[in-house]
Structure 1
Amino acid sequence: MKKIVLTSMLCAGLAYGDIAQLLDEEKRTFDSSKYIPDISLITDVSYVNRSINDDELSHLGLPGIAHGLYAEHAHGGSNEATYNANQGFNFNYAELILSSSVDPFFSMDATFHFSQEGVEVEEAYFTSTALGNGLRLRGGKLLSNFGYINAQHHHYWDFGDMPLVYESFLGTHGINELGVQVQWTAPTPFYLMAGLEVLQGENEQMFGNGSVELENVWTSVGEDHIEGTDAPSLYVGYVKSSFDIGDTTIFGGLSYAQGDSLIDHSEDEGDEAHVFKGDGKLYGADLVVLHAFDSYRSFKWQTEWLNRELDGVQYTPTASADINKEQSGLYSQLIYTHDKNWRMGVRYDTIYQNDITKDGVDMNEVDDFNKYSAMVEYHTSEFARFRLQYNRNEAMYDEAGLRQNLDTIMLQANIAIGAHAAHAF
């Protein structure tokens, strides 16, 4: 078609320079009607029954690792509950997703998260592949590509809750930050990608910057605030690769994150009140093996290992101490897809290392946190999913240091309408 147009122009007596100018103007302009955003809405609701009531549950945690996992937490400037937080019925969220090309050089994606506590921008970023040479640039608020599950939204998870090691180390939302991301895909016969991210560094469980305002002057600090560092303060790097062996796809990656830590628990009750200031490092390795039996039936093994190091000073209202933590855990899950309607799976979670020293003295913390999950789900179509899940959580401890085994049965419905882009492998 372009040859016919070019020949017609030449026959009309136009010079090559004029033709080049016309073609350049055509390249710079486009039909805006072709760039109307894809719009989708995804809702998630659940019914939950637990062996421990909500009030007691909010006080449980993992000693030396995380506490209040089932309580409200700060995120996006507001307080919100975790997914499936309450006994009985839960409205977990409604997500409004917009996606479109901007022009020949950029695309734009945004996810707005609606809950009963308010609305927040989950993600809003631009992407450009116009740099060439296998480079991709992304900037805005985004989910980091650290590890495997971190970049996935909740509605794409194979289970209704986040793996224990992720939720304990990084919180329910993982690494979800303002920043910039650069990825390079190598010109190899198999998939090989390397990425680097510079992020604001405001993760509430592990990283942080700015300052903490104290209600009163803490004698351990001598002031009514603890000063952190300036943003951006979180740096993430990773390498990922994938290849096929017959009907089996193997995907794996190595990830690393490093940043300043300012973790604020100054408003906790009684002896729990503290602020940690120091450095944080997070190492990750992930592996996914997917074998397809036919167009519908498949078997997927997915596992991730995380190791975090925190080194700094922990302040309480009356004292301070040098704290060093090295903690490791993993999850491993098997998912069988029987046909286009039925899926089932099991998952094992563990945090097996919890080494903590205080002023050089080993605190001998508990280090056997385990959780077991099983699920079966039915899809009426690609837009509607109903999941029944059972959890046996043997990782939680109460404020007296006693283990509290937690049994949970959860029925979840996830419904979507509108056009929604396909998820990455």
Structure 2
Amino acid sequence: MKKIILSTACAVLAFGMDTIPAEKREFSASKFVPDISLIIDAGYVQRSKKDDEVAHLELDGVAHGLLGSHSHGEHEHSTYNASNGFNLNYAELVLSSSVDPFFEMNGVFHYSEGGVEIEEAYITSTALDYGVRARVGKFNSNFGYLNEQHHHYWDFNDMPLVYESFLGMHGINEKGLQLQYTAPTDLYFMIGIEALQGENEQMFGNSTIGNVEDPIAKGRDGATLYVAYAKTAFDIGNTAFLTGLSYADGISRIDHSADEEPHVFVGDSTLYGFDFTAKHNFDSYSFFKLQTEVLYRDMDGDLIKLDQNLAVVARPKLTKEQAGAYIQAIYAPNRSWAAGVRYDTIFKNDVVANGINSNKKEGLDKYSVMAEYKTSEFARFRLQYNHNNALVNEDGKRVNLDSLIFSANIAIGAHGAHAF
């Protein structure tokens, strides 16, 4: 499958360019004026637990470091609205433009107090025939529905529990190649495949862990994560429907060697997804939107337990079969106001070590409500309340966490339209 994806993409690119008439290849340099926008996201947070306590909470057998700052190997991560009090989440700089009749280019750069990150930087074909589109660079995968969207487009301040716990705050955001085909039919139907490097912080990974000469876990070069999906959409009156199935498969090198109880996971992982969205428009600005996704993951490999000197003390076989979902509803009575509710759950949590079920907690739930006001399409203010009873402390006891988040998201400049 790996060689097929790469060779097919190269062949399609070459064939598509050869079929473009010479008169359409003219390009005016005077039209090369990129769209530039800057988005600032900030918030004020009040939680029922102190920051030091929140940072040690985790989803039993699923993930930890979902709130506050945490490390993965040599990398330090902070979630959005990480601390009680004021938070400057990011300043996002976006540049996009046509390159010539063949390509468009986009760059998304995240500036934070911790540094600068290339969120996305990719080139997209614009001249391929037969409904084919190619993309190369670093980009958000089209896996599922929410994964492709940037934070400022989310309907809530935080990512759904199942997404963040399975894939991390950035989801599947990778370097690689994407190839999509849209069928020439009245009913929208699109299929896509992606060959990605595979560097996800929570589920996938291909880097060597430890000393290169005598590693804890040996990595693998090249693309190690492969994604495929099929999506369809249709309208019934003023209601639009979008649904899809997604699949991701790759190797896992998950580095928790810097934790208080250092460990590393080495194995293979598969993620399955189903998404469904329905949006009914009452008029140009008033709408009701229902959105849900279900994710199921299967991880199979070795859990390498380490001592404080990073020496291997045990290597039990480990499998994880876990599933979760979210469902949310948004109502906007006009162009200025909107309100929504969301329910998150991890409903399957089977963790088996050396053939013995660890009996991890299930029914991990979170409830959220939000209200937002927009002064224009460039300025949004949102108040959100979360009640989270999915987390456990270091003693394995369930902890209820209540959070109140007030956020401001302000944009200037020209920004491309978002997909439905």
The answer to whether structure 1 residue 199 and structure 2 residue 188 are counterparts is no
**Residues 367-378 of structure 1 mapped to structure 2, 5 A cutoff:** 367-378=362-373
Q: Partners of 2:152 and 2:204 in 1: how far apart?
A: 25
Secondary structure at 2:316's aligned position in 1? strand
The answer to whether structure 1 residue 340 and structure 2 residue 331 are counterparts is no
Structure 1 segments of 4+ aligned residues over 6 angstroms from their partners: none
Distance 1:248 1:24, change over 3 A: closer
Root-mean-square deviation over aligned CA pairs: 1.7
Q: Residue 253 of structure 2 aligns with which residue?
A: 262
Q: Residue 69 of structure 1 aligns with which residue?
A: 66
Q: Residue 384 of structure 1 aligns with which residue?
A: 379
Q: CA deviation at 1:363?
A: 1.1
Secondary structure at 2:101's aligned position in 1? coil
**Residues 122-271 of structure 1 mapped to structure 2, 5 A cutoff:** 122-213=119-210, 223-269=214-260
Q: Residue 8 of structure 1 aligns with which residue?
A: none
Letter in structure 2 aligned against 1:331: Y
Distance 1:245 1:234, change over 3 A: same
The structure with the larger Rg is: 1
Between the two proteins, the alignment pairs up a number of residues equal to: 395
Q: Partners of 2:73 and 2:291 in 1: how far apart?
A: 30
The answer to whether structure 1 residue 395 and structure 2 residue 390 are counterparts is yes
Q: Partners of 1:186 and 1:75 in 2: how far apart?
A: 41
Q: Partners of 2:132 and 2:210 in 1: how far apart?
A: 42
Q: CA deviation at 1:224?
A: 4.6
User: What do the CA deviations read for 1:270-320 (whole angstroms, capped 9, x no partner)?
Assistant: xx3111100000000000000111122110000000000000011112111
Structure 1 unaligned regions, length at least 5? 1-22, 218-222
Q: Partners of 1:74 and 1:365 in 2: how far apart?
A: 23
Q: Partners of 2:61 and 2:386 in 1: how far apart?
A: 23
Q: Residue 96 of structure 2 aligns with which residue?
A: 99
Q: Residue 306 of structure 1 aligns with which residue?
A: 295
Distance 1:75 1:414, change over 3 A: farther
Q: CA deviation at 1:267?
A: 1.3
Q: Residue 15 of structure 1 aligns with which residue?
A: none
User: What do the CA deviations read for 1:14-67 (whole angstroms, capped 9, x no partner)?
Assistant: xxxxxxxxx977543322121210000000000000000000000000111001
Identity within the alignment, %: 59
Q: Residue 296 of structure 1 aligns with which residue?
A: 285
Q: CA deviation at 1:378?
A: 0.2
Q: Partners of 1:152 and 1:325 in 2: how far apart?
A: 27
Q: Which of the numbers 11, 17, 41 marks the counterpart of 1:44?
A: 41
Q: Partners of 2:206 and 2:289 in 1: how far apart?
A: 39
User: What do the CA deviations read for 1:114-161 (whole angstroms, capped 9, x no partner)?
Assistant: 000000100000000312000000000000000000000000000000
Residues 263 and 275, structure 1, Cα contact 8 Å, conserved in 2: yes
The answer to whether structure 1 residue 416 and structure 2 residue 407 are counterparts is no
Letter in structure 2 aligned against 1:111: V
Structure 2 unaligned regions, length at least 5? 1-19, 307-312
Residues 279 and 290, structure 2, Cα contact 8 Å, conserved in 1: yes
Q: Partners of 2:239 and 2:285 in 1: how far apart?
A: 14
Distance 1:25 1:291, change over 3 A: closer
User: What do the CA deviations read for 1:52-98 (whole angstroms, capped 9, x no partner)?
Assistant: 00000000001110012113245898523100000000000000000
TM-score of the pair, normalised by structure 1: 0.90
Residues 129 and 135, structure 1, Cα contact 8 Å, conserved in 2: no
Letter in structure 1 aligned against 2:276: L
Residues 228 and 277, structure 1, Cα contact 8 Å, conserved in 2: no
Distance 1:25 1:187, change over 3 A: closer
Secondary structure at 2:227's aligned position in 1? strand
Secondary structure at 1:420's aligned position in 2? coil
Distance 1:424 1:24, change over 3 A: closer
Q: Residue 271 of structure 2 aligns with which residue?
A: 282
Residues 275 and 293, structure 2, Cα contact 8 Å, conserved in 1: yes
User: What do the CA deviations read for 1:202-246 (whole angstroms, capped 9, x no partner)?
Assistant: 00100001210169x9xxxxx453212222100000000000000
Letter in structure 2 aligned against 1:393: N
Secondary structure at 2:53's aligned position in 1? helix
Residues 306 and 330, structure 1, Cα contact 8 Å, conserved in 2: yes
The answer to whether structure 1 residue 353 and structure 2 residue 348 are counterparts is yes
Deviates most, 361-370 or 159-168? 361-370
Q: Partners of 1:287 and 1:176 in 2: how far apart?
A: 21
Secondary structure at 1:394's aligned position in 2? strand
Residues 72 and 256, structure 2, Cα contact 8 Å, conserved in 1: no
Distance 1:25 1:359, change over 3 A: closer
Deviates most, 70-79 or 289-298? 70-79
Q: CA deviation at 1:172?
A: 0.3
Residues 162 and 325, structure 2, Cα contact 8 Å, conserved in 1: yes
Q: Partners of 2:21 and 2:82 in 1: how far apart?
A: 56
